[in-house]
Amino acid sequence: WTVAFAQHDANILWSGGDDATCQVWDVRVSSSSPVKKVRDENSSYTWNAGVTTMAQHPTDPNIMAVGSYDEYVRFYDARYTSHPYETTHVGGGVWRLKWQ
């Protein structure tokens, strides 16, 4: 559904799917498994719907905003992807994200 390359490391990319998953990949690793799974370890699920968009913070390479059509934007620190550090309900499906 969506992919975002890390701005400060072209070998790292984040992918989001209609299967309600988000994963981090390293193109230098030849594996069919991601290097990290982005989730919420405190919940039985992270997203209630597909992951539709993501945007890396323009000045902090560790921060990624991830949107879904479950009406939430979740903010992750790329070093600790086991849970979002902030979750915001936006009242509608999230199709695009842009930092300002």
Burial 34-47 (b: 16+ CB within 10 A, else e): bebebbbeeeeebb
Residue 29 is encoded by which pair of tokens? 């690793």
What is the reported pLDDT for 44? 60
Query: Side chain identity at 51, as an amino acid letter?
Result: V
What is the reported pLDDT for 90? 96
Instruction: Report all structural domains of the chain as residue ranges with CATH numbers, in order of start.
Output: 2-89 (2.40.10)
What is the reported pLDDT for 1? 81
Grouped pLDDT means (10 residues each) for the chain, 100 residues:
89 92 92 86 75 94 94 93 92 94
Scan for tokens 């890390």, then name that residue. Answer: 6
What is the reported pLDDT for 43? 67
What is the reported pLDDT for 45? 64
